[in-house]
Structure 1
Amino acid sequence: MKNVAISCSLLFLLFFGQANAQTYAENGMVVSDHVIASQVGVDILKKGGNAIDAAIATAFALEVTHPEAGNIGGGGFIVFLKANGEVTTFDFREKAPLAASPTMFLGENGKIKDNSNHKGLLAVGVPGTVAGLYQAHQKYGKLPWADLVKPSVELAENGFMMSWGLYNAAVNVTDQDPSEDIMINYFKGANGEIVKPGETWKQPALAKTLKEIQKHGRDGFYKGWVAQEIEDYMKAKGGIITKADLEKYEAVERKPLKGTFNGYDIYSMPPPSSGGVALIEMMNLMEEANISEIEFNSTAYVHLVAEAMRRAFADRAKHLGDPDFNPDMPVDRLLSKDFAKMRYENIDLTKASISDPSKFGHPYDGSSTTHFSVVDKEGNAISLTYTLENSYGVKMGSDKLGFIFNNEMGDFNPVPGETTTGGQIGTDPNMIAPEKRMLSSMTPVIVAKDGKPYLVIGSPGGRTIINTVFQTVLNVLAYDMRVDRAIEAMKIHHQWLPDRILYERNLLSPDTRDALIKMGHTLTPTTNIGVLMGITFDASKKLYTGAADSSSEDGGARGY
């Protein structure tokens, strides 16, 4: 069987980094967390596939090349802007198993037992990725399903060159979790050692699973021997997911959320993603503030952005959850310009607000996922974010299947009724229930101008996703930054509780930091916030520009 071809330029990029910050193309583009996966997607476009086809092929390739977050053991969301200007979304968020209950993670003292909502197989939600990709293909795909899964089968079976970025991650995760079953040998070759950079890493068990999906589509994962092995593995290791859970799982096509900002249309995911609601609410606040007249990265800018985040996250905590279990969520109100005006009137531009866990927003009322972006020559655009929750999810999985399970059950509110200053939320909309989808922060976004894609963007990062994407959209629309600079610009994060601003060390000036502290803010430094993958379109030049966040060691844009 032939080896998967990797060009000399691709080899160069894998070892020495991206050749340039931006990539240009006229016919189509894919930007993802691994250049091999991006190239797989572009190859599908060249063969006549559309953006949906390329997204499916890229997603499966990331399962092989970016196992930290690329997945068939997790779930996510697609925002799809069609060439005719219509927009739809696909929700393939994981679900709670049938045997789940609101107090399943609590001990006799009513507290979370042994971090069980994040660690161990009770933390695994019913995976949705394969179902979501298959549903999108059945409705909008152009090329045969088998052709889209084939590249990932070949990558897993024949192997691909281990990069330094993946190798460093492999060493770290193996050292950190020596007791977990699949991780012990996950990155090891025939000699029993972790595959080194420049050597070929093969995944035969994963190749076998992918072949089943290639041959049988959705049923290749949710029925048959793969589903049986998932059930057997869960029973043996203390999990509760069964074949009945898998057979009942369905992805959902949902109407997108739509907002506007200075003449641009902003499309994102509705609940169970909280990202779209929060982002549009914050963009409305920025429009109310006329943010473009406030100097970027100034004290006034950071303060205003943090206060907008505080309010959006308070609303998120109080109101949002799975819409199939919460039909009366006030989403339209949260998205309205009138609501933003009321919120803005209660922002003090001279001092920080207080985040009170007992009152949510009322005092001012009136680490792993991956994202990729795709566009094709017809003007179809895809913004897709999917996740395992933590880096490498629950770090468990069957050696016979070769993939890692998510630990998404940790995104439910774990202790009913208990909301703390440390950030634990206990509100009803996101309580655990059988077959319920847990609230998500994933924020795939497409900004359109005159019905055409203008910006396609998204990021990993847990709850920071919402704010990372928000600031990048703001950078492009309000400050006219080109996409690579918007991605690399300084980011902050405030999520209501805990009451603090997280900021990127060395990118916020000491003077601004000191001024914010005097205004009453608490600041905490971090190394990096977000790993953005974005595409912009210049209608006058008919030119796509793609950029991958420099913090993604193997990420890159590919176009033609």
Structure 2
Amino acid sequence: MSWSRPIALKLAASTAALVAGLAASLVTDTPALAKTAPKPVLDASAVAVPDQYSAETAQQIFKEGGNAVDAAVAIAFTLAVTYPDAGNLGGGGFMTVFMDGKPYFLDYLGTAPQQATREMYLDDKGKVMGSMSTVGSRAAAVPGTVEGMWEAQQRFGKLKWKQVLAPAIHYATDGFKVDSRLQQVRDDSARNFTGKTNFDAYFSSLKAGTVFRQPELAQTLERIASDGGREFYEGHTAELIGTQMFGHGLITKQDLQQYKAVWRQPLMADWHGYQVVTAPPPSSGGVGLIQMLKMKADLKPAFDGVELNSAPYIHLIAQIEDRVFADRQQYVDDPDVKPVPVDKLTDDSYLSQRAAEVKADEVPGAQPVKPGLDVAQAEKPETTHFSVVDKWGNAVSNTYSLNGSFGSGVVVDGAGFLLNDEMDDFVTQPGTASVPGAAANDLNTIAAGRRPVSSMTPTILLKDGKVSTVIGTPGGSRIFTTIFQVMTDMVDFGMSPANAVDAMRFHHQLLPQKTIYFEPYHPITGDLADQLKAKGYSVEGQSFNGDVQLIRVDGTTPQAAADPRGVGVGAVFQ
């Protein structure tokens, strides 16, 4: 076993004891899908995850014979305990899976409650009312995470359901040591929640260096482990959510009972000899990623001799991003509500036409690209991602979220978990702008049962039908521009996984026009900033530009890289 950064190589003694204690009780619990494991095709299994506790969880699951989906589900539940600002039971997300040689995609995004309405956050003058869509019970969409994990594990998992929840139950019961990152995020978030939610009652003791225990969350996890994933939607946990919402929020027991995760056809495209497997709508990220990759490939002559991350390079990428974000804001919606022209948006001839509009000497903003609603700016970066590859060549790329840090700030009393503020991912003030040629006033607006448009882009690259790369990141509208940069740094510029994840990243989107955002990790300063300004751009800092978790398979050897911007861990398990 190897780690990409120093952490303890052993599971905590209490975790090991827990595993031993559970062994006898689990032997009679028959998994929903029993399979004979094929012969390993890789030298090892690997994960790239946001914290050390989820890495230890993966180690435990692989030792017990679990596959990539078992490990992914166990990681997701562990992060709900140890990474509570983004890991969750009360949120939702996307999972891209490659299992037994076939790709799959699971949409377990949250949905608008049945009582939700298009203008629910507006006053009688049509103005948004304070922070109602981001803080408090009315900000919460119907959570999808537990249903998504249950669906994935029942379909593809090898282990017993109780086994994959055991690590999370341990960390909730016995606690975990809080690091300085988590305390800082808690302190920053508490300013929004204090006096408005019950956040402080549950998380005021999150202090760096202390052991944080969550007994109510442990009980919730034990119920789910014992009764299955639907307990969250139909059992005692559902009763607790209904009680929490009564008189405050919109989610009802009926909403929970009706919630279902959706298996969708993954979005796939050929690129530089690879097959890209990524997120379809309601993700805008998969479409955007494929558009960027193909347009850059079409523009190879324009990029020849252009230095990576130089002013000319950034200028060309910014023009590509203008067109991608224009399409995103004009066409992408919940596919169950409005058909999305994915085939056209990713068609080679269409993208060649769009690429031909990109000019090295173009003045930024001189020829406006079809403008749209500036909805991407509202997306929050506080999501989390993890990547998994097992020794049988299966893989999971999973991105899930509470939306903002600690979601809505509302903890379900008696259940110990946070609810999301995913309702803010909808257009909360519809009709404030229009898009030529499209019914923009209906795009991503609130309606009962609807899923909001998301930028989450869990992605897997295949080479000759086998897993080559597993990648994803948090970052709101910066997600797919970040993934694009890391992928092209590796493929076009020959960088190692670690160097590609470490390299400078920048971001541009249609609105605000002519703006290049840089990150504190690799700031754009000096001559580079001056050159961009001379081209007509403004150069602005941003506090966050991703937390990429990447695994690349080199022959039969997986290489894991966790973003140095975060506290994640890349681990390889022999």
TM-score (norm 2): 0.87
Matched, 1:492 2:509: no
> What displacement does 1:509 show?
4.6
**Residue of structure 1 aligned with 2:61, choices 29, 44, 58:** 44
Give the one of 257, 262, 273 matched to 2:272: 262
Per-residue CA deviations over 1:211-238 (Å, capped at 9, x if unaligned) read 11111112210011111111111114x2
Instruction: Name which of 400, 406, 412 aligns with 2:426.
Output: 412
**Partner AA of 1:520 in structure 2:** G
1:3 paired residue number: none
After superposing the two structures, state which structure 1 stretch, 385-394 or 397-406, moved more: 397-406
| 2:382 counterpart residue number | 368
Is 1:330 matched up with 2:346?
A: no
Secondary structure, aligned partner of 2:476 = coil
Could you say which residue in structure 2 is the equivalent of 1:392?
Answer: 406
State the alpha-carbon separation in 1 of the partners of residues 11 and 315 from structure 2. 44
Q: Does 1:429 align with 2:443?
A: yes
Return the match for 2:496 from 476, 479, 482. Answer: 482
2:106 corresponds to: 90
SS of residue paired to 2:226: helix
- Structure 1 residues 266 and 550 mapped into 2: Cα distance closer, same or farther (>3 Å)? same
C-alpha displacement of 1:8:
4.1
Q: Which residue of 2 aligns with 1:34?
A: 51
- Displacement of 1:292 after TM fit? 6.2
1:283 aligns with 2:297: no
Q: Report the Cα distance in structure 2 between the residues aligned to 1:100 and 1:282, rounded to whole angstroms.
A: 35
Q: Is the 8 A contact 2:561 2:569 kept in 1?
A: no
Aligned letter for 1:217?
G
The 5 Å alignment of 1:89-488 reads 89-175=105-191, 177-188=193-204, 194-236=205-247, 238-290=248-300, 291=303, 293-327=305-339, 329-350=340-361, 351-353=363-365, 359-360=371-372, 367-419=381-433, 427-488=441-502
Q: Is the 8 A contact 1:347 1:353 kept in 2?
A: no
Partner of 1:503: 518
Corresponding residue for residue 77 of structure 2: 60
> Residue 115 of structure 2: SS of its match in structure 1?
coil
Give me the whole-angstrom Cα distance separating, in 2, the residues matched to 1:391 and 1:355.
37
Shift of 1:360: 4.1
Q: 1:310, 1:355 within 8 Å by CA — same for their partners in 2? A: no
Contact 1:259 1:265 in 2 (8 A): yes
Structure 1 79/126 Cα, relative in aligned 2: closer, same or farther at 3 Å? same
Offset of 1:353 from its aligned partner?
A: 3.4
Distance 1:140 1:271 in 2: 23
- Cα deviation for residue 474 of structure 1 reads 1.3
Task: Give CA-to-partner distance per residue, 1:336-388, whole Å, 9 cap, x none.
Answer: 11111111111121122358597449xxxxx3100000000000011000001
8 Å Cα contact 2:322/2:369 also seen in 1: no
What residue is the counterpart of 2:29 in the other structure?
Answer: none
Alignment check: 8 A CA contact 1:411 1:439 kept: yes
**CA distance in 2 between partners of 1:444 and 1:408 (Å):** 18
Structure 2: which 5+ residue stretches go unaligned? 1-5, 13-41, 374-380
User: Taking every aligned residue pair, what percent have the same amino acid on both sides?
Assistant: 37
**Counterpart amino acid of residue 137 in structure 1:** Q
Aligned residue identity for 1:39: E
The 1:302/1:108 distance shift into structure 2, 3 A limit, reads: same
Instruction: Name the CA distance, whole Å, in 1 between partners of 2:406 and 2:68.
Output: 27
SS at structure 2 position matched to 1:181: coil
Distance 2:412 2:418 in 1: 8
How far 1:197 sits from its partner (Å)? 3.6
Give how far 1:195 is off: 4.8
Shift of 1:395: 1.0
- 1:509 & 1:358 partners in 2: Cα distance? 30
Structure 1 pair 335–105 and aligned structure 2 pair: CA distance change class (3 A) = same
**Counterpart position of 2:33:** none
| Alpha-carbon distance in structure 1 between the residues aligned to 2:353 and 2:444 | 26
The count of corresponding residues between Structure 1 and Structure 2 is: 525
Alpha-carbon deviation of 1:71? 0.5
CA contact (8 A) 1:102 1:432 kept: yes
Alpha-carbon distance between aligned partners in 2 of 1:296 and 1:358, rounded to the nearest angstrom: 28
SS of the residue corresponding to residue 198 of structure 2 reads: helix
Q: What's the offset of the Cα at 1:120?
A: 2.3
Q: Tell me if structure 1 keeps the 8 A contact 2:475–2:544.
A: no
Displacement after TM superposition at 1:466 (Å): 1.6
Q: 1:364 matched to which residue of 2?
A: none
CA contact (8 A) 1:297 1:508 kept: no
Per the alignment, do residues 102 and 28 of structure 1 end up closer, same or farther by CA in structure 2, a change over 3 Å counting? same
Q: Distance in 2 between matches of 1:502 and 1:324?
A: 34
Tell me, in whole angstroms, the C-alpha distance in 1 between the residues paired with 2:386 and 2:517. 25
Q: Which residue identity is paired with 1:54?
A: A
Distance 1:299 1:143, change over 3 A: same
The aligned residue for residue 30 of structure 2 is none
- Deviation of 1:427 (Å): 3.8
DSSP-derived class of the 1:45 partner: helix
Q: Deviations over 1:381-431 (max 9, x none)?
A: 11000001111111112231111111011111122222389xxx9542311
Residue in 2 that maps onto 1:544:
558
Match of 1:22 in 2: none
Amino acid corresponding to residue 336 of structure 2 in structure 1: D
**C-alpha contact 1:357 1:419 (8 A) present in aligned 2:** no
Distance in structure 2 (CA, Å) of the matches to 1:179 and 1:10? 41
Deviation at 1:554, TM superposition (A): 5.0
Which range moves more in the overlay, 213-222 or 196-205?
196-205
Are the equivalent residues in 2 in contact too, given 1:455–1:535 (CA < 8 A)? yes
| Alpha-carbon distance between aligned partners in 1 of 2:343 and 2:118, rounded to the nearest angstrom | 28
- Give CA deviations for 1:71-93 in whole Å, capped at 9, x if unaligned: 11000001111242x11100001
Q: 1:453 to 1:355 in 2, by over 3 A?
A: farther
Question: By how many angstroms is 1:150 displaced?
Answer: 1.3
8 Å contact kept, 1:80–1:382 = yes
Distance of 1:358 and 1:258 partners within structure 2? 26
Greater shift, 178-187 or 528-537, is seen at: 178-187
CA distance 1:376–1:9, shift in 2 (3 Å):
closer
Tell me which moved more, 54-63 or 256-265.
Answer: 256-265
Provide the C-alpha distance between the structure 2 equivalents of 1:224 and 1:147, rounded to a whole number of angstroms: 21
Encode CA deviations 1:9-68: one digit per residue, 9 max, x unaligned: 5799xxxxxxxxxxxx93101111111112202221121111010000000000001001
What residue identity is the alignment partner of 1:122?
A: R
Does 1:518 pair with 2:534? Answer: yes
Is contact 1:76–1:128 with CA below 8 Å preserved after alignment? yes
Q: 1:96 offset after TM fit, Å?
A: 0.5
With over 3 angstroms needed to count, the CA separation of the structure-2 counterparts of 1:218 and 1:380, relative to structure 1, is same
Paired AA for residue 271 in structure 2: F
Alpha-carbon distance in 1 for matches of 2:7, 2:313: 44
